[in-house]
């Protein structure tokens, strides 16, 4: 029998075969490539909790319309930690506990790209820069801080700072991270070179993200010690023992440090380590805070949202949800946005604590929301990111 040879026409090969090949190739190689220049603006949310002070205040001029309407939702098929989001120039970046970073177009809710197989969970929000993101990984013995160029889809640099379960911050091109072995690192954001490392003297873990007022770095560890470290030199400025573990990030407002401990007490400190006031709220804390006029708004693991006077700690109002809260409250204008383990995402009046609106998801909400130019984003344990406007 004579074998018949078939020749694929060049036109068919160009139009159908090659595009299919490249589609399959791209599908197998996860990456983020954003060719257009990402312009950084002053109202962008470039790191966890919005800024190094961790005040969770949205400064976008566009108000949030109440009640907001669901615009889109995006399923990542993975879980989230309590800090997930960052945003710049209408590109939303989101991290997952499966070790992925997603880039999502805000206007459409479509995925622009993602990076995966990072070697460990991502427990914090990425830092966004004009052409790159910087993020931390937990559970990777070779690298734990990565700078990724999303204009090219390539890695700029990698740094091994040990196991990290908190978000990084950046100041003056210096990335600050804290690890589970009691070390704090300053890394050059451009080169990935180490500036300095601070050793707390113990192997007691830092599960909190660093906060900074531009002069010092502040954070607490699981043995109840609060540290102030010079931003430039890495030298210890002061250390204070509270006697109870810190799992709550520090928030800084008007040169005052605010945080809670596992002893149920919420405290205000001067930036020199002196206690200004203490308030026993009889709950553990796992979030940072936000500020409205002369009040600080914070949350407890007991499911309550508290508004206290910043000067005295006197109670202004309380709001009770039906589940634990590990997310930080986010302020946008006169509205406070907060999610709860009761699966609800709430909007409260910042002055009175009255509930204005809620949206029920299909999973617990552990992650801090993000508000940007009238858009509101939240991630739920139903593995979904929700966008409202």
Domains within the chain, CATH numbers bracketed: 27-388 (2.130.10.10)
pLDDT value, residue 8: 46
pLDDT score of 1: 43
- The proportion of the chain whose per-residue pLDDT surpasses 90, expressed as a percent, equals 87
Q: What mean pLDDT is reported for the chain?
A: 92
Cα separation, 269 vs 255, in Å, equals 9
Q: What is the pLDDT of residue 9?
A: 52
pLDDT tens readout for residues 356-388? 999 999 999 999 999 999 999 999 999 999 999
Backbone angles phi, psi at 263, to 5 degrees: -80, 0
| Range 324-354 burial, b when 16+ CB lie within 10 A, else e | bbbbbbbbbbbbbbbbbbbbbbbbbbbeebe
Q: Give the pLDDT band (50/70/90) at residue 76.
A: very high
Mean pLDDT, residues 278-300 taken together: 97
**What average pLDDT score do residues 147-172 get?**
95
User: What share of the chain has pLDDT > 70, as a percent?
Assistant: 93
Asked if 214 contacts 245 with a C-beta cutoff of 8 angstroms, the reply is no
pLDDT in tens, 187-201: 999 999 999 999 998
Residue 12 has pLDDT above 80, yes or no: no
pLDDT band, very low/low/confident/very high, at 101 (cuts 50, 70, 90): very high
What pLDDT, on a 0 to 100 scale, did the predictor assign at position 336?
99
H-only helix segments in the chain? 10-12, 18-28
On the CB side of 141, how many CA atoms lie within 13 Å of its CA? 0
22 pLDDT above the threshold of 90: no
- Can you tell me the mean pLDDT for 55-82? 97
- pLDDT at 23 > cutoff 60: no
Residue 316 has pLDDT above 80, yes or no: yes
Q: Residue 158 contacts by C-beta under 8 Å, 6 or more apart in sequence?
A: 142, 143, 145, 146, 147, 192
With cut-offs at 50, 70 and 90, classify the pLDDT of residue 19.
Answer: very low
Helix (H) or strand (E) holding 133: strand 132-136
Whole-prediction pTM: 0.91
pLDDT of residue 219 exceeding 80, the answer is yes
- Sign of CA pseudo-dihedral 111, 124, 98, 58: negative
**pLDDT higher than 70, residue 25:** no
What pLDDT does residue 119 have? 87
């Amino acid at each position: 029998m004579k074998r018949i040879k078939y020749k694929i026409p060049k036109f068919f090969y160009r139009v159908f075969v090659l595009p299919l090949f490249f589609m399959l190739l791209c599908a197998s190689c996860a990456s983020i490539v954003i060719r257009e220049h990402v312009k950084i603006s002053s109202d962008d949310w470039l790191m966890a909790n919005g800024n190094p002070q961790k005040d969770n205040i949205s400064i976008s001029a566009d108000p949030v319309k109440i009640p907001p309407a669901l615009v889109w939702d995006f399923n990542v098929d993975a879980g989230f930690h309590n800090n997930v989001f960052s945003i710049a120039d209408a590109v939303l970046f989101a991290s997952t506990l499966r070790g992925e970073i997603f880039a999502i177009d805000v206007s459409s809710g479509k995925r622009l790209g993602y990076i995966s197989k990072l070697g460990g969970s991502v427990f914090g929000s990425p830092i966004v820069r004009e052409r790159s993101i910087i993020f931390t990984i937990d559970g990777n013995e070779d690298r734990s801080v990565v700078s990724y160029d999303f204009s090219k889809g390539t890695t700029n640099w990698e740094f091994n700072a040990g196991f990290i379960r908190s978000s990084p911050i950046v100041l003056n091109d210096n990335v600050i991270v804290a690890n589970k072995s009691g070390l704090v690192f300053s890394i050059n954001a451009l080169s990935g070179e180490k500036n300095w490392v601070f050793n707390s003297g113990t192997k007691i873990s830092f599960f909190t993200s660093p906060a900074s007022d531009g002069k010092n770095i502040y954070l607490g560890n699981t043995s109840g010690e609060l540290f102030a470290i010079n931003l430039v030199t890495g030298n210890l400025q002061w250390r204070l023992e509270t006697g109870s573990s810190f799992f709550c990030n520090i928030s800084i407002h008007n040169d005052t440090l605010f945080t809670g401990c596992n002893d149920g007490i919420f405290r205000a400190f001067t930036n020199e380590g002196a206690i200004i006031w203490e308030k026993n709220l009889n709950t553990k804390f796992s979030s940072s805070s936000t500020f409205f006029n002369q009040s600080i708004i914070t949350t407890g693991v007991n499911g309550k949202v508290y508004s206290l006077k910043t000067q005295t700690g006197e109670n202004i109002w309380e709001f009770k949800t039906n589940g634990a809260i590990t997310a930080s409250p986010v302020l946008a204008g006169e509205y406070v946005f907060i999610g709860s383990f009761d699966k609800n995402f709430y909007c409260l009046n910042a002055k009175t604590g009255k509930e204005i609106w809620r949206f029920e998801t299909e999973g617990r909400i552990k992650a801090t929301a993000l508000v940007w130019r009238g858009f509101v984003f939240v991630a739920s344990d139903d593995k979904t990111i929700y966008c409202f406007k």
